[in-house]
Amino acid sequence: MSRALWAILRRDVLLLLRGGASGGGTMLPILFFLAVAVIFPFAVGPDPKLLARVGGGVIWVAALLAAILPLDRLVEPDREAGLFDQWALRGIAEEWVIAIRMTAHWLSFAPALMLAALPAAGLLGLDGRLTGLIELGLLAGTPGLAAVGVMVAAMTAGLKGGAALAGLLVIPLCVPILIFGAGALAIGGESGLALTAAASLVLLALTPFAGAAALRAGR
Amino acid sequence: MQAGSLLARHLGCRRGDRWLFNGVDIALASGEALHLAAPNGAGKSSLMRILAGLLPASTLDGPLPQIEWTGAVGLLDERHGLDMGQPLGEALAFWARLDGPVPQDALAALGLTPLLDVPVRYLSTGQKKRAALARLIGQNAPNWLLDEPLNGLDVDACALVEDIIYEHCAAGGTCIIASHQPLSLPDLRRMDLAEYAL
């Protein structure tokens, strides 16, 4: 059983990193994230004080948008190809499958995103302390973003226009993470980070069950 | 491969407000094969998915539905279960890690050996069907549910599928085949789902 779970995790990570049949992979969301950080100063002007004040929030919004990009290939291609059916036939619980997908999704975008946040923070002229807080916040918040992404992708799999709908559904669900994560920058304290992590943990605990129920209902 | 068997009783299927069938009983002993025939929309695929445990069985009145398999169950339907973006060899290698490898002679017999480097999305309908059959053989499950296994296959491949089913049953497996097309297999039982329609 655990051998099968490892095999599925390995496959999921490789597939999400490379992008599968529809292309994309990890590079696309990361480049998108950096592009947002690059164009933002063009839009609001190069005032260093202004950028230092709003830059952290911009990075958080960009991270959220980047996490939405791969939603349509998180669950739907495998549902369409019948992989979820085949795993169910082998007695692998849908909860496990969703938990693995969540882990793989996090592994495929979060470390790269945190790495890309360093040049993004540089482009926005943020200082070292703020950059550190952003990195810690992303570490606490990205698991929650991954969980919401997989949950919503499972719920909208098989629906017409599911991808657009998924994007709309993810944003309100990510609001707590965004408020606490970006809020931690303003107050400069650990309490915001702790609440970000708490919101992430709730979503991590909920998603395997919600996602599995969605998969079963969609058969 | 261990011997397989099936005892299913009182199966009904409801889609929305509409009952497709009710009161279906199927008993299969090791080595037996059943041809499930019915017009379009009678619920063949639904019955296959109910038997696979992917859809819940319902019953209109009377005793609760009951499905008892001996041994694992393999399903072949229009969803091939292979990664579209991967080369066929890698897509099959993933299932080999879960189930065990597909025997080389089975790959050769299905004509898949030259296709192992081709991404699954470039395969034709018939080639995908044969690839899914290879996956099913690799699963080594004693019980097979084949939903329209001959769709998209040429005449030679159809004969090959019949041979594969025959060998599977001869080795002690069971097989239920939902198909519009006639099958020539010895001792093939036949069930018309339309008789159970409501």
Tokens of A217: 């209902």
Distance set, CA B12 to CA A117, A209, B22, B174, B175 (Å): 56, 28, 4, 22, 20
Q: Tell me how far apart the alpha carbons of residues A103 and A97 are, in angstroms, rounded to a whole number.
A: 10
Closest C-alpha to A182, from A14, A62, A89: A62
Indicate if the pLDDT at residue A21 is higher than 60.
no
Tokens of B45: 């695929």
The strand pairing partners of B146, in sequence order, are: B76, B177
Per-residue burial over B188-197, b if 16 or more Cβ lie within 10 Å, else e, is beebebeebe
AA identity, residue A183:
G
Distance set, CA B88 to CA B57, B118, B134, B150 (Å): 34, 6, 11, 20
Return the minimum-mean-pLDDT range out of A71-75, A177-181, B59-63, B111-115.
B59-63
Mean pLDDT of chain A: 90
Q: Tell me how far apart the alpha carbons of residues B76 and B146 are, in angstroms, rounded to a whole number.
A: 5
Q: Which of A20 and A143 is assigned the larger pLDDT?
A: A143
- The model's pLDDT over B23-55, given as tens digits with 9 standing for 90+, comes to 899 999 999 999 998 888 888 999 999 999 999
Residue B83 contacts A where some CB pair is shorter than 8 Å: yes
Long-range contacts of B110-116 (CB under 8 A, 24+ apart): B110/B134, B110/B157, B110/B160, B111/B157, B112/B88, B115/B88, B116/B87, B116/B88, B116/B89, B116/B92
Q: What is the ipTM of this complex?
A: 0.93
Give the pLDDT score at B53: 93
What is the number of other CB atoms lying within 10 angstroms of the CB of residue B175? 25
- The model's pLDDT over B71-96, given as tens digits with 9 standing for 90+, comes to 999 999 999 999 988 899 999 999 99
- The model's pLDDT over B134-170, given as tens digits with 9 standing for 90+, comes to 999 999 999 999 999 998 899 999 999 999 999 999 9
Q: What is the CATH number of domain B1-72+141-198?
A: 3.40.50.300
- The model's pLDDT over A141-154, given as tens digits with 9 standing for 90+, comes to 999 999 999 999 99
Distance from CA of A67 to the nearest CA of B (A): 22
Of A4, A81, A219, the CB nearest to B83: A81
- The helix or strand, by DSSP H or E, that contains position A72, with its residue range, turns out to be none
Q: Tell me how far apart the alpha carbons of residues A18 and A11 are, in angstroms, rounded to a whole number.
A: 11
| Cβ within 8 Å of residue A109, ≥6 positions away | A16, A26, A29, A30, A66, A67, A70, A142, A146
Domain count of the fold of chain A: 1
Helix (H, G, I), strand (E, B) or coil at B135: helix
Residue A85 contacts B where some CB pair is shorter than 8 Å: yes
Residue B54 contacts A where some CB pair is shorter than 8 Å: yes
Per-residue burial over A34-72, b if 16 or more Cβ lie within 10 Å, else e, is bebbeebbeeeeeeeeebeebbbbbbbebbbbbbbbbbb
Share of chain A above pLDDT 70, in %: 97
Please report, for chain B, the start and end positions of each structural domain, with discontinuous segments joined by +: 1-72+141-198, 85-138
Residue A89 contacts B where some CB pair is shorter than 8 Å: yes
Indicate if the pLDDT at residue A23 is higher than 80.
no
For the segment A166-179, the average pLDDT, to the nearest whole number, is 91
Question: What residues of chain B lie within 8 A of the CB of A4, using their CB?
Answer: 97-98
Give the pLDDT score at B115: 95
Q: Tell me how far apart the alpha carbons of residues A182 and A162 are, in angstroms, rounded to a whole number.
A: 29
- The model's pLDDT over B53-64, given as tens digits with 9 standing for 90+, comes to 999 988 887 789
> Which burial class, exposed, middle or buried, applies to B13 when counting CB atoms under 10 A from its CB (0-12, 13-18, 19+)?
buried
Its pTM stands at 0.92
User: Are A81 and B81 an interchain contact pair (Cβ–Cβ within 8 Å)?
Assistant: yes
Residue B15 contacts A where some CB pair is shorter than 8 Å: no
Give the pLDDT score at A46: 84
Distance from CA of A33 to the nearest CA of B (A): 25
Per-residue burial over B55-85, b if 16 or more Cβ lie within 10 Å, else e, is bebbbeeeeebebebbbbbbbbbebbbbbbb
Helix (H, G, I), strand (E, B) or coil at B160: helix
What is the number of other CB atoms lying within 10 angstroms of the CB of residue B174? 27
- Domain hosting residue A144, numbered range: 2-217
Give the pLDDT score at A191: 86
For the segment A118-129, the average pLDDT, to the nearest whole number, is 91
Residue B166 contacts A where some CB pair is shorter than 8 Å: no
